[in-house]
Amino acid sequence: MKRRIIIGWAAAWALVALRAPLVWASPFQFEVDPFYAETMLKGRFGASPVYFFIGPSPTMEKGLLAYIQSASQTLDVCVFDMNLPAVAQALLDAQKRGVKVRVVLDRDNAAKAYDIEDELEEMEKRGMLTLAHNRSGLMHNKFMIADGIRVWTGSYNFTRNCSHFNDNHAIVLENKELAENYEMEWKEISEGRHGKRFSYPTPHPELEIGGTPIRNCFTPEDDTRGAIVAEMAKATNEIAMMAFSFTDSAMTDAIRAGLKRGVRAIVLLDSGLAKHPGANTKELEEMGAHVRMSPGVRLHHKVIVIDRETVVLGSANFSGSAFDRNDENVLIIKAPHFAQAMLREAIRCWRAEPYWITKWRTPIPAGM
């Protein structure tokens, strides 16, 4: 039986950092309130810097703005939803200072983005904006590529809800091969090439960043479901999952098979979608998984931590729509220290009290 330990990612990486000095300049030079200390974590895969953001927190939008401001030559954006005025303005400002900025935004969400309608109109005038429409599913990605090397991705839409209310994550990685993968996905969607038949092949589906193995999948063209199920089948100790939507039968079968092998299954579900008629919540409970409904406003993570060594994350919910019809992206990262950090977030979400309690714990100034 493996030792069950939980350590802070930052603390774990501090040990790694002793072996060699930090040699990169971080683009995220902003102050983080001590209350939100674990909402921005920094580390390395080998010599390559990695940044990890967790929400809801002010850090999400700060990190997003800093990422946009870090671009010096090119910035390609592909996001399902955006309504933050400061972010839309930052994209315009980047283009004004000479960065080649190209933005792909879901057409239906753009039509409802009333808070940034002026900024979107200006983007159209400048030729920066493409509106995506996947007729068979959703253009559900949330990624950016800066300067052909730095990739931002995760579950985080560029919205007020995702910044301030929803449980979310974003990761920033530096690697040219990974950036090439995401550039190809950006090109595909900007050209309206939705679906398996029209997609471009992923240039580097398997790669390493500083010795850390990474599998990069895009739906629906890649076998993302198969890649995730294959990782779950390797579990010998624990499968911990945070899911906004979990309806996929193959992944449900993988949990069942794991339980039969003696693997512990911990599943945290969004309280709204867990009660949907198509959800497999009851089935998971009956097979012996530890299941809980998130007390938060919305659990928007799409994360699996396997044996505290491998992390599955990205934009894709664990559903047939995500795997077979939507435009999505997923990373499978084998990095124990990062897995520990993600597990800490799972524990926070599992143990969290309902968010409405926070309001009533807010101190009121004397005399009010």
Q: Which of 108, 147, 223, 307 is catalytic?
A: 307
Rounded Cα–Cα distance for residues 304 and 228 (Å): 9
Model confidence pLDDT, tens digit, residues 127-151: 999 999 998 899 999 999 999 999 9
Question: Per-residue pLDDT for 7 more than 80?
Answer: no
> How much is the average pLDDT of 329-344?
96
Residue at token pair 């920066």 = 128
- Return the domain boundaries, the chain: 9-354
* Helical ranges in the chain per DSSP H: 9-17, 58-70, 85-96, 107-111, 117-125, 160-164, 176-190, 224-233, 249-260, 281-287, 320-324, 336-351, 356-360
pLDDT at 86 over 80: yes
Q: Classify the phi-psi angles of 52: left when phi > 0, otherwise alpha if psi is within -120 to 50, otherwise beta.
A: beta
pTM across the whole model: 0.91
Q: Cα–Cα distance between 317 and 213 in angstroms, integer?
A: 22
Task: Return d(Cα 86, Cα 8) in angstroms, integer.
Answer: 31
Residue 300 annotated as catalytic: yes
Our answer to whether residue 307 is catalytic in this structure is: yes
Residue type for 202, please?
A: T
- With 50 as the cut, is the pLDDT of residue 15 above it? no
Question: Can you give the pLDDT at residue 300?
Answer: 96
d(CA 54, CA 345): 8
The DSSP-derived string for 108-167 is HHHHT-GGGHHHHHHHHHTT-EEEE--TTS-B--EEEEETTTEEEEES--BSHHHHHTEE
- Is the pLDDT confidence value at 4 over 70? no
Q: What is the pLDDT of residues 182-211, one digit of tens each?
A: 999 999 999 999 988 899 999 999 999 999
User: With bands split at pLDDT 50, 70 and 90, how would you rate the model's confidence at 296?
Assistant: low
pLDDT at 266 over 70: yes
Phi-psi category of residue 293: left, alpha or beta, with phi > 0 → left and psi -120 to 50 → alpha: beta
Mean of the pLDDT values across residues 105-120? Answer: 97
Q: What is the mean pLDDT of residues 330-357?
A: 89
Report whether pLDDT(5) > 60: no
Average pLDDT over residues 64-73: 98
Residue 111 pLDDT exceeds 60:
yes
Average predicted confidence (pLDDT) for the chain:
91
Whether the pLDDT of residue 9 is over 70: the answer is no
Does the pLDDT value for residue 23 go beyond 50?
no
Is the confidence at residue 359, as pLDDT, over 80? no
Of 66 and 22, the structure prediction assigns the larger pLDDT to 66
3-state secondary structure of 16: helix
- Active-site entry in 300, 301, 327, 337: 300
pLDDT at 312 over 60: yes
* pLDDT tens, position by position, 223-237: 999 999 999 999 999
CATH for 9-354 (3.30.870.10, 3.40.50.300, 3.40.50.970, 1.10.340.30) = 3.30.870.10
Look up residue 310 and give its amino acid: T
When pLDDT is cut at 50, 70 and 90, the band that residue 11 belongs to is: very low
